[in-house]
Amino acid sequence: IDLVLLDLGIPGIDGLEATRRLKASPTWVDIPVIMITGNVEHETLRTAFESGVVDYITKPLNRTELLVRVRSALRLKREMDGRRARERQLLEVMHQLEKANRQLELLSSQDPLTGIANRRQFDAVLEAEWRRASRRRAPLALVFVDVDCFKAYNDSHGHLNGDDCLTRIAATLSGQLRRGGDLAARYGGEEFAIVLSDTDLPGAIQVAEAIRIGVESLAITHSSSHISDRVTVSLGVAALTPDLHDSPRDLVADADAALYGAKRAGRNRTCPFTIPIDCRSLAAPVSLSA
């Protein structure tokens, strides 16, 4: 239905009330109503237009006037339909654009190989968690994870197996994180990083050791490692309660120094940042392959 012609003079029907009911219905709200009336008093016309009438025709009907007003109302209806169709198209385009933006945002923060956060996202989260820890005077911990002898693994087992190895290790890292504020990220190459909010050094060491054991438990064969017959990782752990003299770079430097200490001490171990760095403060790791 494109148009309603409503005669206010029909016995037993309140034409204005009928118009109000039509306009209250989602099905009829956009259909123009032309009122046919012999009463052209100002108050009657005002009430009619307030009820939703778009035009009126006086009695007795004039054929030319009727055709002109009907054509005008139908043209208005087509314009309204076209506008609403364009609005729906625009809303759909906006919806698709928002969806695409969300996907782009996800891709820009996600490592394409492992599916965990990438370096860009790591930097952003570390900065945000640092500010939050500084406000709350809470500890913030960082764990660096490096896959032992990974170049030799790639050379011996191939890059496809190397990619699969990194993906499985990333899943192990993510599986050890239980809180929303924690983050596992691929830091670069075979190196990963974990941000642990509200975590002191002993707590971070526990997480790191669980990761080390978890990776070794994957039992990924490594025929070229001088550490073990399976893939292992070395971990450096640092924690700080931020103050005005510290920055996120200090925490990164501490964790990196601890990771270097773990490698120097023989790999396949967790090393905390202390001054001086002493990985012997932890019990020597027990190899699952022994």
Kindly report which listed range (28-42, 109-123, 234-248) carries the lowest average pLDDT score: 28-42
Show Cβ contacts of residue 68 under 8 Å, excluding neighbours closer than 6 positions. Answer: none
Question: Which domains does the chain carry?
Answer: 4-104 (3.40.50.2300), 119-281 (3.30.70.270)
247 vs 42: which has the higher pLDDT: 247
pLDDT tens per residue, range 125-159? 999 999 999 999 999 999 999 999 999 999 999 99
Instruction: Cite the active site residues.
Output: 190
Residue 7: the pLDDT is 82
Q: For residues 119 and 190, give the distance between their C-alpha atoms in angstroms, rounded to a whole number.
A: 12
> Which tokens hold the place of 244?
């005005």
CA of residue 171 relative to chain centroid, distance: 19
Residue 173 and residue 116 in contact, taking contact as beta carbons nearer than 8 Å? yes
pLDDT tens digits, 51-92: 888 888 888 888 888 898 889 888 888 888 888 889 999 999
Range list of β-strands (E), 138-213: 140-147, 183-188, 191-197
pTM: 0.67
Residue 287 has a pLDDT of: 56
Radius of gyration of the chain (CA): 36
Which of the pair, 25 or 155, is modelled with greater confidence? 155
DSSP one-letter string for 205-219: HHHHHHHHHHHHHT-
Over residues 16-39, the mean pLDDT reads 83
Strand order in the sheet with 233-240: 183-188, 191-197, 140-147, 233-240, 270-272
Three-state SS for 65-87 is HHHHHHHHHHHHHHHHHHHHHHH
- Position 290 confidence tier, pLDDT thresholds 50, 70, 90: very low
Does the pLDDT value for residue 34 go beyond 90? no
Structure tokens at 28: 């009829």
Q: What percent of the chain shows pLDDT beyond 70? A: 95
Q: What is the mean pLDDT of residues 89-104?
A: 87
